[in-house]
Amino acid sequence: MQTNTNAIVLSKLKYRENDLIVKCYTEKFGVVSFLLRGVLKNKKGGAKVAYFQLLSQLQLEIIFKPNRSLQSVKEVKINQFYSSLHSNVLKSAIVMFLAEVLSSTLKEEEENELLFSYLETTLQWLDNHNDFANFHLLFLLKLTKYFGFYPENPLPESNSFNLLEGRFETVTQNKNSVSGENLTLLKQLLGTTFDALNNVKISAKQRQSFLNMILHYFELHLGSFRTPKSLQIFNQVFS
């Protein structure tokens, strides 16, 4: 079946001498891996290779065959031109980190318009804004909505958050309960938007602690999730 779909690049891997395997999150089919044959040796292929940078937003014309592990791409176009996402060093670090998280968490091979729209719009927001140091925290927190473990609204008397149960509590239950600065920050982020994110003041130490907490939250609810390899470098960039 030949069809068109929008796509967001999650990862790419050199295969054999001149081929690439590119994993994308597509609007129509969910997670799909594509084999780009000969793209690394073709003199005209340089532009195509550049299209497949991490988290690039593309429009693909593909030949889709159900039950095939690697699909074919017939035509590639840039769907959203980024002005800074791949040229700004700090944003590039966020892109590398979030691409690894998304590659680990996105597994479904089916359409999810709401999730795809969320990824599209938030990446465009990051590209267009200069105050973004806390972007990844809110991005990951809101991402949990689409996986089914978004924290429920806190009660005024709540003094802890149970990561295992995904709920606020009045009594600290176990080692997976969060309190203190991380709890305060969690409540703040739940009540804000990306446009108001610059009003939430977070130190580098708090940012790193909260990120470790949210990654642990993912581990508890997504059995296949593993701490990203790029985490250490990412923390150094934003320390």
> What are the chain's domains?
1-81 (2.40.50.140), 84-239 (1.20.1440.120)
Instruction: Judge whether 59 and 79 are in contact, CB under 8 Å.
Output: yes
Task: Copy the structure tokens of residue 33.
Answer: 């891996």
Among 152, 145, 159, 144, which Cα is nearest to 216's?
Answer: 144
**Beta-strand pair 160-162/30-36:** unpaired
Among 55, 95, 50, 82, which Cα is nearest to 237's?
Answer: 95
Per-residue pLDDT tens over the stretch 47-92? 688 899 999 999 999 999 988 899 999 999 999 999 999 999 999 9
Whole-prediction pTM value? 0.94
Per-residue pLDDT tens over the stretch 126-154? 999 999 999 999 999 999 999 999 998 88
| 124: CB partners within 8 A, 6+ apart | 57, 80
Q: Is the pLDDT of residue 45 over 60?
A: no
